[in-house]
Amino acid sequence: MLGRLNHVAIAVPDLAAASAVYRDTLGATLTEPQALPEHGVTVVFINTGNTKIELLEPLGQGSPIAAFLEKNPSGGMHHICYEVDDILAARDRLKAAGARVLGDGNPKIGAHGKPVLFLHPKDFLGTLVELEQV
């Protein structure tokens, strides 16, 4: 079931400063910041050739990464996203195994325009896991 690692998301308090770290210090190539108000984040992508890093800054009220940044004010790895072929089949398999799917259990359209689900970190080694159908 588990496919490719689609991205690792790093939540940051200041996207411009974070972009400078990856661009100037680490020598990475970044996309322009993209505001995603429906997801409560502004995002910059770093293509590492084989996968992506997403830098996420909170946008607006009630951002889904606000609580994480309160606990981790310098930022940190927020979630990891794996690709699956069939997100409904994956969800049903996970639920049958006793894993908790966040929200109402129905896929939403994620930051890449594809169906996504998030899984409870307590069921996955303390790691927030996103599944994306590709």
User: CA 133: distance to chain centroid?
Assistant: 14
Minimum distance between the CB of residue 61 and its own copies, rounded to whole angstroms?
A: 23
Separation between Cα atoms, residue 12 and residue 100, nearest integer Å: 26
Separation between Cα atoms, residue 54 and residue 30, nearest integer Å: 10
Binding residues for its own copies, total number by CB under 8 A = 41
Residue 132 designated active-site? no
Stretches 8-16, 33-41, 59-67, 110-118: which one binds its own copies (CB under 8 A)?
8-16
Give me the half-sphere count of Cα atoms (radius 13 Å) on the Cβ side of residue 116: 19
- Interacting residues with its own copies between 99 and 128 (CB under 8 A): 99, 121-127
Closer residue to its own copies, CB minimum distance, 31 or 72: 72
* DSSP 3-state of 34: strand
Cα angle 132-29-2, degrees, rounded to a multiple of 5:
20
Instruction: Give the residues lining the site for its own copies (CB under 8 A).
Output: 1-5, 8, 10, 12, 18, 21-22, 24-28, 46, 48-51, 53, 55, 72, 74-77, 80, 82, 93-94, 97, 99, 121-127
The residues that are catalytic are 130
